[in-house]
Amino acid sequence: MESKKVEVSAENLASSIGRQEICFDDITPTQARGLAAILDWKDTQQISGDILPAPWHWLYFLPTPKSSEIDIDGHPKRGGFLPLISLPRRMWAGSRINFIAPICIGDSTRRLSTIKDIKIKNGKSGQLVIVTVLHEIYVINNKDNAEANSECLAISEEQDIVYRDAAPSAAANASPSPKPAPVPAKPQWSDTINVDAVMLFRYSALTFNGHRIHYDYKYAVEEEGYGGLVVHGPLTATLLLDLLRKKLPNESVKTFSFRGIRPITDTGPLKIEGRQEGRVVLLWALDCSGALAMDAQATLI
């Protein structure tokens, strides 16, 4: 795909700040069972009443656009709740989450989404637009008695959605950075995940994510310039928190944040590492070249 310069105007986007959307969803066990299977949990039978692990709320409130509303990249066509931004590549680059109260399987929930900020940046890779969306998820109590309904704020999350110029070539996008960022600390825990096309397809299906970079190799390489199929950012973040769960099974997460540093592809094993420092847990992911690809941090209750 040839890179075409697209100019984005801050004035045109400013009116989108403050826009809101409300969604409702039931925390059904089917989605949780699916993720437990992908993560290779010994017990995949999530039942009603179990507390939903962090950050499994990403399995819910999924956009379900009609087939006629899908763009060439597999994403929903631009417009709607998110601002209309013409830059061709878009991705979920990071989140900052507060886990305030538990959400249990079987709960009915409401999510209030607000476009909090929009920033335009210019860098070596071209123009970037960062849209920050605040999601607030409430558990609806007394759902069988409409007159007695009350709500409890359970999760507050800021998500950064990044729009980018097209990559000039696969080689330019896949080549290693000259100076990879250093890992945050000496690892206390380390695990290797063999991410493959089947795992990526199953996660895409579970989250109703049609973005072709995760399952269409030809599109990912020839059109968007990646070196292979791209590992979902939230899947990598989920793997990091699953590492924390394995090492600290009796702890609960109070806050979690992550930021993607460079794309991870299925061209080699993914390494996830972490280290506990008091009530803070540092977590990170390394791509198959050993470069830092995701940096994350959790605080414990």
Domain ranges across the chain: 10-300
Q: Above 90 in pLDDT, residue 141?
A: no
pLDDT value for 134:
98
Query: How much is the average pLDDT of 34-51?
Result: 90
Superfamily of domain 10-300: Hotdog Thioesterase (3.10.129.10)
Q: Is the pLDDT assigned to residue 217 strictly greater than 60?
A: yes
pLDDT band at 46 (very low <50, low <70, confident <90, very high): confident
pLDDT in tens, 221-268: 998 889 999 999 999 999 999 999 999 999 999 999 999 999 999 999
**In contact, 282 and 300? CB cutoff 8 Å:** no
Residue 2 has pLDDT above 70, yes or no: no
Structure confidence at residue 114 as a pLDDT band (50, 70, 90): very high
Comparing CA positions, the residue from 188, 200, 282 lying closest to residue 234 is 200
Between the alpha carbon of residue 146 and those of residues 12, 139, 248, the distances in Å are: 41, 14, 40
Does residue 11 surpass a pLDDT of 70?
A: no
**What strands, in cross-sheet order, belong to the sheet with 89-99?**
20-26, 108-123, 126-141, 150-164, 89-99, 253-260, 292-300, 280-286, 270-277, 189-193
DSSP string, the chain: ---------HHHHHTTTT-EEEEEEE--HHHHHHHHHHTT-S-----TTPBPPTTGGGGSS-----GGGB-TTSSBPS-TTS-----SEEEEEEEEEEE-S--BTT-EEEEEEEEEEEEEEEETTEEEEEEEEEEEEEEEESTT-GGG-EEEEEEEEEEEEEEEPPPS-HHHHHSPPSSPPPPSS--SEEEEE---HHHHHHHHHHTT---GGGT-HHIIIIIS--SSPBPPHHHHHHHHHHHHHHH-TT--EEEEEEEE-S--BTTS-EEEEEEEETTEEEEEEE-TTS-EEEEEEEEE-
Both tokens of 239, joined, read 């793997």
Q: Give pLDDT tens digits for 154-203.
A: 999 999 999 888 766 544 444 445 578 888 899 999 999 999 999 999 99
Mean per-residue pLDDT for 69-84? 85
Find, among 15, 158, 135, 140, the residue nearest to 63 by Cα: 135
